Each structure stands twice: as C-alpha cells, then as structure tokens.
Amino acid sequence: MPELKYISGFGNECASEDPRCPGSLPHGQNNPQICPYNLYAEQLSGSAFTCPRSTNKRSWLYRILPSVCHKPFESIDQGYVTHKWDEVDPDPNQLRWKPFEIPKTSQNKVDFVSGLHTLCGAGDIRSNNGLAVHIFLCNSSMENRCFYNSDGDFLIVPQKGKLLIYTEFGKMCVQPNEICVIQRGMRFSIDVFEETRGYILEVYGVHFELPDLGPIGANGLANPRDFLIPVAWYEDRQVQGGYTVINKYQGKLFAAKQAVSPFNVVAWHGNYTPYKYNLENFMVINSVAFDHADPSIFTVLTAKSVRTGVAIADFVIFPPRWGVAEKTFRPPYYHRNCMSEFMGLIRGHYEAKQGGFLPGGGSLHSAMTPHGPDADCFEKASKAKLVPERIADGTMAFMFESSLSLAVTKWGLKTSCCLDENYYKCWEPLKSHFTPNSRNPTGPN
C-alpha cells in the first residue's frame, strides 16, 4: 500500500483537492452556480449554525453526486449494537473482561459493522447527551458497504490489526497504538487485513477537544500538530447490485442502497473532518518530586459536558515514561471515584496488575466502586528501592472516563462469555499491616 498523505493540525480550517482534478475547489465562494468540474456542492454541519466561532464546525464537500441519491433506508439486524441501558440489572462490582474473542476467518466473515458489540453506556441519544463503549471484533473488509453515525462521534482504538479507513475526506491508515476520530455523519468504510479487534468510545452530541492546559502552558500532552487529517481522494465507481449505506440513527441500524460509491468527493474544505493521532507522540507530564499528579494529566482528548470541568468522557492513556517520585508509593493509589472508569489495554502489561488484565480485554470500575493495585503489586511497590525507573515500556493502557454512571449490556455481562468472575480475588490477599503501638512504618512483610 503506498504511503498515505495527511494534513497536520487539530481543528484547523483545511482545504484539499484530489490531485487528479486541480482547481476543483471553487474560488472565493462555497456555492457557485456551477462548480468546477461540474461537481455538486454539499455542506456537512457538525455544529449548530449559530455556535460561537470557537466551536463552529462544518465542511464543504464537492462531489460527483450528492449524498441524497439513495433508495429509502430500511431497518436491518441490530446485531449486538444497543442503546438500551436497562437490559440487565445494575452491577456495582469491579468488572474485568478477558480478551474479547475475534470470530475466526475460517468460520464466518464478519466486517467492522457486523462486528460491533456494545459493552456499556449511559445517557440518551435523542437528547444528545451520553456515551457508549463498543468493542469491534472482525475478520473481513467492508465490501461495498459504508457506515455513518447520526448519533455521535466514534473515537476508534485499534488493538489488533491495522485499519485502512476510506472516508469522504480521503483515506487513513490507523495501526494499533494510533487512534482516530470519525465524527457524526461522516461516511466511512474499513478494510482489515487479519483477525482484528479494538475499542470504540462513542459520545453523543458533543465533539472531542484537546484539554485545556492551565498552568502547563502552551505546549504539552497531545500537541495539535500531531493530529493528522486525510487528503481528498475520490473514486467514480458504479456498483453492480448497489452500494449499501448503513446508518446508526437513534441507536438503531438502517441500510439504504445507492448506485455509486459514496467516496466521490473530489475536493473539500472546512474544519469538520476525521483525524488520527499516534499515541507515541503524547508528551507525558508527571511528578518529579513526590506523590502523584491526578490521572487527568494523561488526557489526550475530552468530550465536555455543559458543566464546567466535567467531561461526558475523557480519553486518557498511560504511556511509557520515567517514574522518579521519591518517598512515594508509585503505582496508582487506592481510590473511589465519582466518575466511571472503563480501561483497555492495547499492548503489554498494566503497571497495577501484572496478570489478568490482558491486551484486548477490559475493566470497568463504576462510580464510587473501590479499586487499586492488587496485593502482589502493593507488596512489591511498598518495598521497592525508589530509583528512577522506566514504567510501562512496551505497554499502552488507556481509560475512557465518564461522569455518567455506565450500564453494562447483556452482551457485556453474559453473551460475550468474557467476564472474569474471579476479578475480586486479586484484592483478597491484602492484609492489615497496622502497628498500633509504633508509628514507625516498617513496610509489609
């Protein structure tokens, strides 16, 4: 596959023409009486027309046929996609899943859309407030099928197998340890090259932003220039038997046929685009004296709620870094959090749990449910010599952290058969080291 080109920057006003059609962007206006190359102009709005400039998002697409050229949408099989948050009774326990099983290519062909499984979520699609966590498990490319989401944005975290993503804005290749965001309404189709797995954070009604940096200053964490946007690419392709456009609308799946490929955008401009980001580019900031900074210091992207400082969901990573804190218990501390924490592992071992939490699996620590290092980790870290040390080399764990209280689906709790019933046992060996007659700590033994 030839190397793909990208435009660099987060949220910029960009413009791109397929090099086969130079001058395909109209000059000086968006909507000429006749567009260059006799293309159709179409606006894709990602925000209310009247949003302030800082949050106003739209792009203009110049395409061979407008998106409206399709047969009516009809309801199709939902598979394991759901937005019903009362399928099973609530469960406040710490939950952990073994790696979710990918269907074998030799058994049945499953593409990205038919391989979507909703694991947990909360909120309401119709009022544009909430989120869902999906797991995708697939082994085949989408053939003459594309997908778009009327409900929200997808932040896609591939864990096994690379994704070649065709979008209306061009093509992106997204490997494990990279992420991409495909925003509401954007049509895309995914090619895969092996048995493939990953995680999706869907947020309703808001878009991901870079977090404010406060006293950190102008630079750091995920830098805007490291976000990559595809360049215009089109195909003028008739499809025998019809091309299928799949739409997730109010949580349900629908399909419509059309005669041509939807990737017929010759040129586009605007600030509402898909984008990708390599997690290796994250500039990690951490304690260089003692104690921990709160894990918000690892936020890559945030989807803000209307309450100041409170996110619908944050995407947080725990990248390789140096641990240098003195007189400090260095693993994550024990805690109870008003937020819900879904964690996944792209590769390697997570620092607070050496076994059980595996790449392609997950965990959910719900609102106010206690969690922290397992007994083994506590014993080792309490006695460790506090020299500078590398943490998490070869590893990438991440968290979807939400202010909403997440409901787990029936697939998550039962059908997936991946729930680890023994998770709670990792804390059972923790024992009291209390010495009521001596303030001098001696450490565990």
Active-site residues, by number, are: 292
Residue 153 touching Fe ion (CB under 5 A) = no
Residues 253 and 29: beta-carbon distance below 8 Å: no
**DSSP structure class, residue 125:** T
CA dist 272 and 287 (Å) reads 36
Give the Cα separation of 149 and 137 in Å (integer): 18
Residue 269 assigned to a binding site: no
149's tokens: 């989401």
Distance CA 349, CA 357 (A): 8
Q: Which is nearer to Fe ion, 153 or 341 (CB)?
A: 341
Assess contact for 118 and 78: CB atoms under 8 A: no
Q: Would the annotation count 83 as a binding residue?
A: no
Rg of the chain (C-alpha set): 23
Q: How far is the CB of 365 from Fe ion (least distance, A)?
A: 5
Beta-sheet pairing, 170-174 with 196-204:
unpaired
From the CB of 336, what's the least distance to Fe ion, in Å?
9
Q: Minimum CB separation from Fe ion for residue 101, in Å?
A: 26
Supply the minimum distance, in Å, between the C-beta of residue 235 and Fe ion: 45
The structure tokens listed for 223 are 């830098």
Cβ-based nearer residue to Fe ion, 178 or 341: 341
Strands 145-149 and 238-249: parallel
Q: How far is the CB of 138 from Fe ion (least distance, A)?
A: 30
CA–CA gap between residue 152 and residue 286 (Å, rounded): 32
Amino acid at 340: S
**Pairing label, strands 6-8, 299-304:** unpaired
Q: What is the DSSP letter of 382?
A: H
Task: Write down the least CB distance from residue 257 to Fe ion, Å.
Answer: 46
Residue 400 to residue 153: CA distance in whole angstroms: 14
Q: Which residue lies nearer to Fe ion by CB, 191 or 341?
A: 341
d(CA 386, CA 382): 10
Segment 316-355, which members bind Fe ion (CB under 5 A)? 341
Residue of closest CB approach to Fe ion: 341
**Is there a contact between 322 and 391 (Cβ–Cβ < 8 Å)?**
yes
- When the beta carbons of 13 and 294 are compared against Fe ion, the nearer one is 294
Q: Which residues pair with 415 in a beta bridge?
A: none
Closer CB to Fe ion, 151 or 341, in the complex: 341
Q: What's the min distance (Å) between Cβ of 314 and Fe ion?
A: 12
> Does 326 belong to an annotated binding site?
no
SS3 316: strand
Contact map string, positions 355 to 394, toward Fe ion, x by CB under 5 A: ----------------------------------------
**Residue spans of beta strands (DSSP E) within 50-128:** 58-63, 74-75, 95-97, 116-124
> Can you say whether the dihedral through the CA atoms of 293, 295, 299, 303 is positive or negative?
negative
Cβ neighbours around 101 below 10 Å, total:
13
Q: Flag whether 371 is marked binding.
A: yes
156 close to 200: Cβ distance less than 8 angstroms: yes
Number of residues that bind Fe ion (CB under 5 A): 1
Question: Closest CB to Fe ion among 341 and 379?
Answer: 341
Query: Which CB, 6 or 318, lies closer to Fe ion?
Result: 318
Q: Name the minimum Å distance from CB 341 to Fe ion.
A: 5
Comparing CB distances to Fe ion, the nearer of 83 and 371 is 371
Spatial distance between the Cα atoms of 26 and 436, rounded to a whole number of angstroms: 79
Interacting positions 67-126 with Fe ion (CB under 5 A):
none
3-state secondary structure of 378: helix
| Residues annotated within a binding site for Fe cation | 335, 341, 371
Residues that bind Fe ion in the complex, under the rule CB under 5 A: 341
| Residues annotated within a binding site for homogentisate | 350, 371
| Residues annotated within a binding site | 335, 341, 350, 371
